[in-house]
Amino acid sequence: MTTRNVIGHIAGADIRTIKIFKTVVNCGGFSAAGAELNISRAAISIAMSDLEQRLSLKLCNRGRSGFSLTDEGEQVYLAVLKLLASHQEFQQRINSIHSELKGDLAIGITDCLISLPSMYITDSLKALKHQAPEVNINIEMIPANQVIKNLLDGQLQIGVAPVFSKNPNLKYVHLYDEQSYLYCGNEHPLFNTSEKHISAEHITEYEIVSPSSQQSPEIKKHLRRFSNSAQASDREGAAFLLLTGCYIGYLPAHFAQRWVETGQMKPLLPEEFNYSTPYAAIARKDLAPNLILSCFMDRLNQLIESPLPRNRGDKNQDHTRKSQPESST
C-alpha cells in the first residue's frame, strides 16, 4: 500500500505556494496569474508542481486545451479558501493582542471612487499610516459582489461598495450618495443638439451601454427604457464606449467630470435621467477585536461626522449632496 506524503504542518513557503494556486484558479490559468502576481509563468509552473508534490495530488490540467481543475483540485481550492480565511483571522487576533499597531489591513474597493471629492477612505488610510507606520495596507479593486463575498469569507477586513441590499452578518457605515447622469460623447449625434430640441423619447431611441454588474432596482428601472446594445463590466469600460460616439450611458458625475470639462462629454436631460447610489464602508459583525481596523474605522467616522475642508479644488461637486451638472445646449 502506498503512503502519501501529506502535509504535516503548514510552513511559510506553503502559504506562499497556496496563494499562488488560489490566484491561478481565480485568473483561469498560468499566464493571467503571472501578470496578476508579477512573476514569470515558469515560476508559477514550478510553484504548482511543488504544491502537487507536497500534497501528492494532481490539482489541474494544463496544455493546449487550456487550464482546468481536477476533481481533487476543486476540493483543494475550497480547502485553500478556508485555510487563508483562518490564516487572516489568526493574524487579526494576534494584531489585537499587540499594544502597538502592527499587522495587515485588507481592503476591497469597487472601481472609480478615487475621483470622489469626499476623500474619506484616502484620509482614513493616511491617518492610519501616520499613527501606525508598520501597518501593511493591501487594497484590492474588485466588483461589488466580490467585495461582499470576500468579506464573508474572511479574505477582507473592510470593504467599500454600493449598498443594494444589506447582509445581516455585516455592518455598514454610510459614506456618501453617488449621483449618476446620462452622458454622450462629443461625436454622438445628440452632443450638438440643443436641449430644447431633445425629448426623453428621442433619447431612449439611441443605443445605451448597460452595466453587466449587479444593479439596484432603481437603476434597472432607468435602463429598461432603452434597448441595451453594449455591456461594460465597470465604469471605465462604459466611458471607453461613450467616447466612441456610438453610445450613450450612465456615469457617476464625479467620474465623468474630467471629460465634461474638456468638452468630450455632456449630460443629457439631467433632471430626468439621473439616479443616486448609496456607498458604505462594510465589515463583518463577528470580527475579533482589532486595533488596526478600529483605528481606521474611528478616523472614518470622525471624517463623516465632521468633514474637513477639501483641497482638491472647490469646483468639484460634493456628491454627498445631490448636485446636478449643467447640461450644454
pTM confidence score: 0.64
The three three-digit cell numbers of residue 305, written as one number: 461626522
Percent of the chain with pLDDT over 70: 86
Question: Looking at residue 12, what is its pLDDT?
Answer: 60
Mean pLDDT highest for which of 9-13, 280-284, 317-321, 322-326? Answer: 280-284
Residue 182 forms beta bridges with which residues? 250
> Sorting pLDDT into bands at 50, 70 and 90, what band is 1?
very low
Burial class (CB in 10 A: 0-12, 13-18, 19+), 156: buried
SS3 content of the chain, % helix, strand, coil (to 5): 40, 20, 40
Provide the angle, in degrees to the nearest 10, between the axes of the packed helices 12-27 and 41-55.
Answer: 120
Q: List Cα–Cα distances, 154 to 77, 91, 147, 158, in angstroms.
A: 15, 11, 11, 10
The phi-psi region of residue 28 (left if phi > 0; otherwise alpha if psi is between -120 and 50; otherwise beta) is left
User: How many Cβ atoms are within 10 Å of 108's Cβ, its own excluded?
Assistant: 25
Each residue of 156-179: pLDDT tens digit? Answer: 999 999 998 899 999 999 998 999
Architecture label for domain 12-87 = Orthogonal Bundle (1.10)
Which CATH superfamily groups domain 99-175+279-305?
Periplasmic binding protein-like II (3.40.190.10)
CATH 3.40.190.290 is right for the domain spanning 177-276: yes
Residue 165 forms beta bridges with which residues? none
Can you tell me the mean pLDDT for 184-190? 96
Residues of each domain in the chain carrying CATH 1.10.10.10: 12-87
CB-based contacts of 74, cutoff 8 Å, min separation 6: none
Higher pLDDT, 12 or 104: 104
Residues of each domain in the chain carrying CATH 3.40.190.290: 177-276
Q: Is residue 154's pLDDT more than 80?
A: yes
Residues of each domain in the chain carrying CATH 3.40.190.10: 99-175+279-305
Q: How far is CA 180 from the centre of its chain?
A: 18
For the chain, how many residues are written? 329
Question: Looking at residue 13, what is its pLDDT?
Answer: 66
- Which helix (DSSP H) or strand (DSSP E) does residue 275 occupy? strand 274-284
Can you tell me the mean pLDDT for 17-46? 89
> Sorting pLDDT into bands at 50, 70 and 90, what band is 222?
confident
Higher pLDDT, 243 or 94: 243
Question: Looking at residue 7, what is its pLDDT?
Answer: 55
Can you tell me the mean pLDDT for 112-120? 80
Q: Residue 20 in contact with residue 33, Cβ under 8 Å?
A: yes
Question: Looking at residue 182, what is its pLDDT?
Answer: 96
Burial class (CB in 10 A: 0-12, 13-18, 19+), 84: middle
Q: Between β-strands 103-109 and 208-211, what pairing exists: parallel, antiparallel or unpaired?
A: unpaired
Question: Looking at residue 315, what is its pLDDT?
Answer: 39
Can you tell me the mean pLDDT for 195-213? 89
Each residue of 261-319: pLDDT tens digit? Answer: 999 999 999 999 999 999 999 999 887 767 788 888 888 988 888 755 444 333 334 43
Q: Residue 270 in contact with residue 327, Cβ under 8 Å?
A: yes
> Sorting pLDDT into bands at 50, 70 and 90, what band is 326?
low
Question: Looking at residue 314, what is its pLDDT?
Answer: 38
User: Across all residues in the chain, what is the average pLDDT?
Assistant: 84
The three three-digit cell numbers of residue 181, written as one number: 447622469
CA atoms of 5 and 172, how far apart (whole Å) = 45
